[in-house]
Amino acid sequence: MTRPRERRRTVFLCRECGHESPRWLGFCPAPSCRSPLPLVETETAPVGVSRPGWSAAEAEPVLELSQLRPEDHPRIQLPSQELNRVLGGGLVPGSVVLLAGEPGVGKSTLLLQIAHFMASEGRSVLYISGEESPQQIKLRSERLGIVGHRVFLLSETDVDIIVQRLDECRPSLAIVDSIQTLYSREVPSGPGSVVQVREAGLRLMRWAKSRHVPVLVAGHVTKDGSLAGPRVLEHMVDVVTYLESQDYSSYRILRNSKNRFGSTTEVGVFEMTGQGLEEVVDPSQALLSQRYDQAVGTVLLPVLEGSRPLLLEVQALTSPTQLPVPRRVANGVDHNRLLMLTAVAGRRAGLELSGQDVIVNVAGGFRISEPAADLAVVLALGSSLHNVATDPKVVAFGEVGLSGELRTVPQAQRRLVEEARLGLSRCILPETALDGLSPPPGMELIPVRTLRQALRAGLGAARSPSVDQTVWDAPE
Ligand code: TYD
Ligand code: MG
């Protein structure tokens, strides 16, 4: 019998993006990377050595597209609407889902809860932890009220042994917590390194695909919020989803950055409670119930997160600055967008913010990336600056242009329906959005063309003695 040829190759690797170059080039040559870290010399895995979890005899046959039926591999439905929606309609057998998040955000908690969901439907789960001992996982499961029938635990970090155990146990779902702790003896570098993470990802992908079993993998993120490890890992797996939270908020938002089986715009909303993560099926209602009606500097707006409209609250606080350059703090909205809006509001609508520190916040720890939020941000700023509360039944949406004009936004009708569902009765919106719009019963539409008109409509009604009336009445 001929032994497979062992051939190792030396390459130079970028520690951030995983780019390989055969020669020493100093720094990463990939134009999209520009990492400040020098390349590291490393040996690749031996070529030609058989790897556990994969062999040529077991390789997939060639299939004709027309012969395949979608119902042959139905998605596994989880008893959580939020999870199913984010996954694109359920868990696809053979897929690898990477769940990324900061330490403490709740990745292990969510994974254990998913293990419990699957096990309670009669499927077996192998939960592999390289970070926690079975006893620690037991403690968490007690907190979550999970007994743990059909949930099997393995404390292991050697990926070769993991793949071997997976083959012995043949679970219906495999969970790996976390990818950064895994290592392969065939790769001569430490756990968590670019080569190791890539190798472990590759092995798990092969196993999942060849056995048609879904694998959920936890992954750590770096300080700037991106996934730690090589970029290739993100290309490799089928779904990359981030579990996010704003500081001190109990809400957790599950957001996809990649999904081969569904949309990346869908989000799932959860709340971290004493008994783990609970799904928030109606986040608009949950946020609205915490609203203080007479608050100054708050405005409601409907945003679209995937297929779902959400009613969020934008809050703004202005206060005279003590600094030579006033501060602009944006939580949940884009910082550059806020700078643009303060400039436009000052020049085009008479909102004098140049001597003011400005803080803008989206309640509940949500993040808005739509320009549709522009109008609500400016109204909240105006409300705070003039110290007048907006009408609690009013909502506003619209994009603001540089000349202070209001521009239409997509799916205005769906936004209006969500507002009406939650009992709101007045909506300030761009005049250009009126085309083809049929307001739900009881909803008064206030179409405006410019930011100045919008401020007059939103704040002018509540004229306050402290407000210089010329602000509202000045010509366009
Ligand atoms: P964990 O799932 O360990 O986070 P990760 O794996 O992302 O590092 O969650 C840790 C945090 O969640 C910890 O601060 C405690 C909190 N927590 C709850 O509030 N309720 C619970 O039921 C559980 C299990 C954890
Ligand atoms: Mg963890």
- Give the ligand with the smallest distance to the CA of 112: 1
Highest-pLDDT range among 209-223, 237-251, 280-294: 209-223
pLDDT interval class at 300 (50, 70, 90): very high
DSSP string, 122-161: T--EEEEESSS-HHHHHHHHHHHT---TTEEEEE--BHHH
pLDDT interval class at 329 (50, 70, 90): very high
Q: Which residue from 139, 178, 272 has its CB within 8 A of the most atoms of ligand 1, so it is best to mutate?
A: 272
User: Are the beta carbons of 427 and 443 closer than 8 angstroms?
Assistant: yes
What is the spatial distance between Cα 419 and Cα 331, in angstroms, rounded to a whole number?
Answer: 23
CA angle, 323 as apex, 321 and 325 as ends, to 5°? 95
Average pLDDT over residues 299-327: 89
What is the spatial distance between Cα 77 and Cα 75, in angstroms, rounded to a whole number?
Answer: 6
> Is the alpha carbon torsion for 258, 263, 264, 270 positive or negative?
negative
Whether the per-residue pLDDT at 475 is higher than 70: the answer is no
CA of 128 to the centre of ligand 1 (A): 17
CA of 293 to the centre of ligand 2 (A): 39
pLDDT interval class at 94 (50, 70, 90): very high
Query: What three-state secondary structure class fits 442?
Result: coil
Whether the per-residue pLDDT at 385 is higher than 80: the answer is yes
Average pLDDT over residues 94-118: 93
Q: Which residue carries 């709340």 as its tokens?
A: 271
What is the spatial distance between Cα 424 and Cα 396, in angstroms, rounded to a whole number?
Answer: 11
**pLDDT, position 1:** 46
**pLDDT, position 51:** 52
Phi, psi dihedrals of residue 359, rounded to the nearest 5°: -125, 130
Whether the per-residue pLDDT at 420 is higher than 70: the answer is yes
Q: For 390-400, what is each residue's pLDDT tens digit?
A: 888 889 999 99
CA of 140, closest atom in ligand 1: 24
Whether the per-residue pLDDT at 31 is higher than 60: the answer is yes
More confident call, 234 vs 291: 234
In this structure, the strands spanning 394-396 and 356-362 are unpaired
Look up residue 61 and give its two tokens: 């046959």
Average pLDDT over residues 243-267: 83
Whether the per-residue pLDDT at 467 is higher than 70: the answer is no
**pLDDT, position 371:** 94
Q: What is the mean pLDDT of the chain?
A: 85
**pLDDT, position 318:** 95
User: Are the beta carbons of 338 and 359 closer than 8 angstroms?
Assistant: no
In this structure, the strands spanning 298-305 and 308-320 are antiparallel
Residue nearest to atom 13 of ligand 1 (CA): 104
Average pLDDT over residues 192-204: 86
- Residues lining ion ligand 2 (Cβ < 5 A) are 108
Cα 20 from chain centre: 29
Amino acid at 220: H
DSSP category for residue 248: T
CA of 84 to the centre of ligand 1 (A): 21
Alpha helices, H only, 69-130 = 81-87, 107-120
**pLDDT, position 126:** 96
DSSP category for residue 60: P
**pLDDT, position 248:** 67
Q: What is the C-alpha R_g of the chain?
A: 27
- Which residue, 235, 364, 374, is CA-closest to 311? 364
Query: What three-state secondary structure class fits 113?
Result: helix
CA of 369 to the centre of ligand 1 (A): 27
Q: Is 398 left (phi over 0), alpha (psi -120 to 50) or beta?
A: left
What is the spatial distance between Cα 391 and Cα 435, in angstroms, rounded to a whole number?
Answer: 25
Query: What three-state secondary structure class fits 345?
Result: helix
Alpha helices, H only, 274-373 = 283-288, 335-349
- Lining ligand 1 with CB less than 6 A are 101, 103-109, 140, 143-144, 272, 274-276
Residues contacting residue 69 through CB under 8 Å, at least 6 positions apart: none
Whether the per-residue pLDDT at 267 is higher than 80: the answer is yes
**pLDDT, position 474:** 55
User: Are the beta carbons of 284 and 271 closer than 8 angstroms?
Assistant: no
What is the spatial distance between Cα 350 and Cα 234, in angstroms, rounded to a whole number?
Answer: 47
CA of 111, closest atom in ligand 1: 2
Average pLDDT over residues 406-430: 91
What is the spatial distance between Cα 163 and Cα 180, in angstroms, rounded to a whole number?
Answer: 16
Whether the per-residue pLDDT at 274 is higher than 70: the answer is yes
Starting at the earlier edge strand, list the strands of the sheet with 10-13: 20-21, 10-13, 40-43
**pLDDT, position 46:** 57
Whether the per-residue pLDDT at 50 is higher than 70: the answer is no
CA of 369 to the centre of ligand 2 (A): 28
Highest-pLDDT range among 26-40, 273-287, 451-465: 273-287
CA of 131, closest atom in ligand 1: 6
- Please tell me the chain's helix, strand, coil percentages from 3-state DSSP, rounded to the nearest 5: 30, 25, 40
Amino acid at 392: P
The CA-atom distances, in angstroms, between 431 and each of 397, 428, 435, 436, 450 are: 11, 9, 8, 12, 9
Residue nearest to atom 22 of ligand 1 (CA): 276
**pLDDT, position 188:** 74
Average pLDDT over residues 265-279: 89
User: Are the beta carbons of 36 and 17 closer than 8 angstroms?
Assistant: no
Average pLDDT over residues 310-338: 93
Whether the per-residue pLDDT at 448 is higher than 80: the answer is yes
What is the spatial distance between Cα 379 and Cα 163, in angstroms, rounded to a whole number?
Answer: 56
CA of 112, closest atom in ligand 1: 2
User: Are the beta carbons of 404 and 450 closer than 8 angstroms?
Assistant: yes
Query: What three-state secondary structure class fits 194?
Result: helix
Of 38-47, 182-191, 219-228, the one with minimum mean pLDDT is 38-47
- Which residue, 53, 10, 15, is CA-closest to 184? 53
